[in-house]
Structure 1
Amino acid sequence: MLQQYKRILVAIDGSYEAELAFRKAVEVAKRNHAHLFLLHVIDTRAFQNVSSFDSAMVEQVTDTQKQTMKEYVSIAKRSGLDDVSYEIEYGAPKTLIGRDYPQAHDIDLIMIGATGLNAVERLLIGSVTEYITRVANCDVLVVRTDLDNKPALIDDKHPESHIQPENDK
């Protein structure tokens, strides 16, 4: 019997790698008739260094991410996947993506980009992807290629490939 995934999670962080994971996750979800969960985690540690913590700053980040996530949902639906939703969570991306969210939503596959960080960030705080592959209680697919399974250009020098908000018509 072939494995069929029913509840697929893809983490969205704005990186090129996350976009590759999203595009593949849409296709996997369509083939499996699965629900696709899109998750963006706002890392609350980023706000700990702000001397005068301003809730308006968090609201602004949240509003921006809501718009981005709505665009991802729209793209998934235009690609033929209707069973898609998104959530924005606050906290540590590693534990939310790798453990807490999958347990709370009965996720059976996590799809994630190879890395969303540069080399210095990986050295200092560790790779979210590496952590998830170690702690997740479900299958994890690390996406390293594009939809044609060709090695992707893993950099942010190609902004035209990123999800862009549609112009209001």
Structure 2
Amino acid sequence: MALVYKQILVAVDGSKEAEWAFRKSVGIAVRNNATLNLVNVIDTRSFSAIEPYDPSLADRAQKFAEEMLNNYKEEAMSAGVKNVNVLVEYGSPKSMISWDISRRIHADLIICGATGMNAVERFLIGSISEHIVRSAKCDVLVVRTEQAQDDAPSGYYTSEGSG
């Protein structure tokens, strides 16, 4: 009996690791004929102290997230993913991804990039990917490397490759 994923949640934040996670998720979604749910969680704690001085910060974060997700959506659809949803959420990425969003969409796989933080930052605020691995109720794939498969078309894994 083969495991088939139907609802894949991919957390993207504009980092290189998140882009690698997105690219690997496309191949997995195509192979499984799954719905790809692209999410960006705008961490309201990160700009709450700055926002009184720059009230446009939330609007700019929303526009950045929407543009990034829509670009990823177009790329995924052109690579053969039939169903792609985009979600921009506000709150703590740790809890939103592993609890709220994953349950709302009935995710059976969460894909995220490994953190780019250094040891001190991880100690002080904790790794989002680490929290997702510990608290998610479904499978989690943490992407640490860029795809290295040379024969995959357009940078995506094929059914012969591993994802």
TM bucket by the smaller chain?
A: 0.7 to 0.9
Q: Which runs of 5+ in 1 are unaligned?
A: 151-169
Q: Distance in 2 between matches of 1:149 and 1:127?
A: 28
Aligned to 1:161: none
Question: Which residue type is aligned with residue 70 of structure 1?
Answer: N
Alignment of 1:72-83 (within 5 A): 72-83=72-83
| Corresponding residue number in structure 2 for 1:7 | 7
Distance 1:149 1:97 in 2: 29
Q: Residues 9-158 of structure 1 correspond to what in structure 2 (within 5 A)?
A: 9-50=9-50, 52=52, 54-148=54-148
Deviates more, 1:87-96 or 1:140-149: 140-149
Q: Percent identity?
A: 47
Give the letter aligned to residue 5 of structure 1.
Y
Q: Distance in 2 between matches of 1:75 and 1:113?
A: 18
1:38–1:116 CA distance, 2 compared to 1 (3 A): farther
Q: Which runs of 4+ in 1 moved over 4 A?
A: none
* Structure 2: unaligned runs, 5 residues or longer: 151-163
C-alpha distance after superposition, 1:106-131 (max 9, x if no partner): 00000111114344322210000100
TM superposition shift of 1:149? 5.7
TM-score by length of 1: 0.83
RMSD: 1.7
Name the TM-score, length of structure 2 as normaliser.
0.86
In the alignment, the residues of structure 2 paired with residue 124 and residue 149 of structure 1 have an alpha-carbon distance, to the nearest angstrom, of 36
Distance 1:22 1:51, change over 3 A: closer
